[in-house]
Amino acid sequence: MKFKILSLLLFMISSIGLNAQEIALQLYSLRNEMKVNPVKYHQMIAEWGISALEGGGGYGMSDTEYQKLLADNDLRVVGVGADYNKLKTDPQDILAEAKKYGAKFATCYWIPHPDGPISMEMTKEAVDLFNKAGEMFANEGVTLTYHPHGYEFVDAGQGVPMDYLLENAKHYQFNMDVYWVKMGGGDPLAIMQAYPGKFPQLHLKDRKKGTPGSTDGHGDVETNVVLGTGDIDIAGLIREAKKQGTAFLVIEDESSRSVEQIPQSVAFIQTILKE
């Protein structure tokens, strides 16, 4: 009897582990639509079968009004932004924003630097800041993550900044935007496999075939295509996320076709997760 109970528990744990990934949406994908009708588009997100959001801010609503809009649509904010300069000057404000929503992640999306690739000096400064702030955040139950943007992949003379960011991440992790990693010349799947456990979030964004790379963090948003139709191995990344226990597979579609493309991308992720 005890053996049967133990076997059942192990099976349940295994099943939970295999289905640990949740599809989320970065609300920046609907930045233009939200200016027009945030109520309508929050309802639409729920209709797409998404309940987890990366965002923060209430689109002109009071905190109470926005929290009600989220609750009415069974939505929750799981990640907020962590502006680099605010990490320096007022990290507590970022923590307060995360706690307001019950979010467990705060992501820094950009390291300020002169246009073009980033220097190793600036990279080291960023790593020191991320480790310091990340330790403080972890003590409050929030994980600080960094979102690569493609400018970290050019050899800076003392090595490749992305390598340094990965190898010296003691108190922060990564919210890897696979599109920007590819744009910068990196291989997102190979990076994920080389540094397992460092990617609790993935920004899944596919790139139109034939798109030229970019090492300055800038590119044409119209090259964002439906997941599984571009030149990035999105399916391989989802399978690796299942192996590693990545918590959130975050769709970010910056194109003008995002409303049309997002539900198609949701369907693609679900297909791979069910394999």
User: 57 in a domain, yes or no?
Assistant: yes
DSSP per-residue codes, 110-134: ----SSSSPPHHHHHHHHHHHHHHH
Write down the pLDDT at residue 30: 98
Write down the pLDDT at residue 13: 37
User: 4 in a domain, yes or no?
Assistant: no
User: 15 in a domain, yes or no?
Assistant: no
For 143-183, the pLDDT digits (tens) are 999 999 999 999 999 999 999 999 999 999 999 999 999 99
- Helix H, strand E, coil C: the string for 18-70 is HCCCEEEEEHHHHHHHHHHCHHHHHHHHHHCCCCEEEECCCCCCCHHHHHHHH
User: 17 in a domain, yes or no?
Assistant: no
For 15-28, the pLDDT digits (tens) are 444 447 999 999 99
Q: Quote the tokens at residue 157.
A: 């003379």
User: 141 in a domain, yes or no?
Assistant: yes
> CB of 205 within 8 A of CB of 253?
yes
Write down the pLDDT at residue 204: 98
For 191-237, the pLDDT digits (tens) are 999 999 999 999 999 999 999 999 999 999 999 999 999 999 999 99
Write down the pLDDT at residue 56: 84
Decide if pLDDT at 184 tops 50: yes
Q: How confident is the model at residue 37 (pLDDT cuts 50, 70, 90)?
A: very high
User: 11 in a domain, yes or no?
Assistant: no
Write down the pLDDT at residue 1: 45
What is the span of the domain harbouring residue 33? 22-273
CA-CA distances (angstroms) from residue 146 to 109, 133, 169? 6, 12, 10
> CB of 81 within 8 A of CB of 93?
no
Write down the pLDDT at residue 264: 98
Q: Quote the tokens at residue 84.
A: 């680099």
206-207/248-251 β-pairing: unpaired
> CB of 11 within 8 A of CB of 40?
no
50 exposed, middle or buried (CB, 10 Å; 0-12, 13-18, 19+)?
A: buried
Decide if pLDDT at 14 tops 80: no
User: 188 in a domain, yes or no?
Assistant: yes
Q: Which residues pair with 77 in a beta bridge?
A: 53
Read off the amino acid at residue 165: L
Write down the pLDDT at residue 20: 75
For 238-260, the pLDDT digits (tens) are 999 999 999 999 999 999 999 99
For 41-98, the pLDDT digits (tens) are 999 999 999 999 999 889 999 999 999 999 999 999 999 999 999 999 999 999 999 9
31 exposed, middle or buried (CB, 10 Å; 0-12, 13-18, 19+)?
A: exposed
Residue 176, domain CATH: 3.20.20.150
**Distance separating alpha carbons of residues 218 and 160, to the nearest angstrom:** 19
In the numeric block, the tokens 């002169």 are attached to 114
Q: What is the DSSP letter of 258?
A: H
Number of domain units in the chain: 1
Q: How confident is the model at residue 8 (pLDDT cuts 50, 70, 90)?
A: very low
User: 2 in a domain, yes or no?
Assistant: no
